[in-house]
Structure 1
């Protein structure tokens, strides 16, 4: 287990899977919950998900097997894993059983470069494991033969390089480290022969101390740092990791971040002499005001109107009018239904008893009570009903006239 300082996450190899794990070796008395990233064929442990520097690294080159731990735990949902290495055993605890199966699958796939068949995983998860195996095989693929024509173009894409790689010359690298000293003191650059690489570092000790290290390719694959005792590394990321870790974090990769202006500047011409000058726009800080909340409007239903002793519902009349306009296939009577009057509560219609006068039998008429026609417009009796009533009254008078 390697302790480190100063290594940043963007310098790590491709991340295949990540999540929280509780880590505990058999030497440790307590376990720690760490954010774990499977990058390349190594597990990197961070104190928190947002941290950029990892605190521990576990190399899977020494991997033997990974099994379930069926021992009891106070957390019933926790899923334990025993990671067997050549020189030690590590206990890992996943949040739940599904995460445990994924961790087992990814660790085994990257370490053995094949997908295990004994895990209970979904087809989509198995596809993720196959992609991780193919990416790891591509990452570990040895470089082409140095005698080939395309050897100098190998690893030419910026995405394959560490973030501290800059395509600069030896002198430009020294000037860049001097100008951007707060951002780091180590960078990777192309070598003079166009086939190798070089690392340039700059430190201060009674003046600038600048060093250059050659990083050569190996014919069988990987890279070699040309020191007194050559250091073999699988990738350029591992080259940077070795230099950072073995200096205790004193060497820091140069990563230049984009800068943004804090003030609004613009070029303004002078009306008198026509000269151009850079001016700063005034900052008019407006108070933050939230828009008013929309108020739901309530539709007021008009109250029934009393017209000639009858109540009429205006809203009902309007809705009937809208409905009538869309019913083109209805009959004339259905298109224009009669207006329905809303009557006030009443005991009932009044009845009049017929009166007979002995002095004047001609004027003695049995009067029928006149009731309001609920179907008439504005409470009036329809014309047909009025004509029929008059006819009945005339017939009644003729019957009561005494014979001469």
Structure 2
């Protein structure tokens, strides 16, 4: 069955090369060693068939290196020196052409892994200076990668992270999957290079078996599941769904968050026995707050004056007489459709004005009083002087008539 050739970055697309030379590489799966041209670019070893090839055939990520030890076994080439790289997934044996080359490879590997110049190696001052420059360059490169990843995460990556994403390292991811095996066995995490992501899986096969996969970000958008035959995915959710589908559900996303509590519980100590017990807090339902109804909005209405309001206007007597004259000259018209009474008709509702009635003057009845007393009374109670004089003349006339009659 033919397989698709894996797409790889060319040599001019790789990070800066710090050191290069021929090495013999042999892993636990190889039956024999292979002599390859090796370039230390960034924190990764890239292996080429020869110095002129542009495409690498293998690569070894040094972030998985645990330690380096010298292999004292003799080689066919007496000048050669062996080195063992202890990785998390196994051991890799490397043979350098000389002892000096082995020390240089060890120094550069320590420099990019620990970002510090090793002090336990026998190096010349010029070699130490080269490694210091390597440490500064690699530290700057990793900082730039971290800033790039942080900017991309803040823009659109964090919001689109699957629920199985955990910001942990490779070792922490293995511990989480081991301790919480009932929550899933597939976990998405950031990669050590700071520019990509990784997937860690755990399955049981006579013990825990962990696998780590790289998820690379494409320049034109989307992601690539970096395996022997790369699988393009539009989103990170597509990467997780692809793993679940291709394993027929054997891999399930790791969801750390569990269910929430439905009631408030607390631990309370018993004063009598001194023992602690779990208590449930009573919850009193909060009655709904009634919303006050808004009053209806008053509409515009026309004020119709009443006779009482018109009577309170305080018209003078002259204005009222003038209104009466106008009413006589112009008879009232029928009221309009709005039933507003005219002013003249409203005046008709008032009681008519009557002239003041003079009080009648009463005279006392005729009595036996003397004429002089009567004259004095009339002088006091009478009105003007003309009436008094007329009354006196009548009294004198009567007295003269009585005297003349008596003399006769």
Structure with bigger gyration radius: 2
Return the TM-score normalized by structure 2. 0.38
Which one has more relative contact order, counting CA pairs under 8 Å at least 6 apart? 1
Query: Structure 1 or 2: larger helix share?
Result: 2
Return the TM-score normalized by structure 1. 0.39
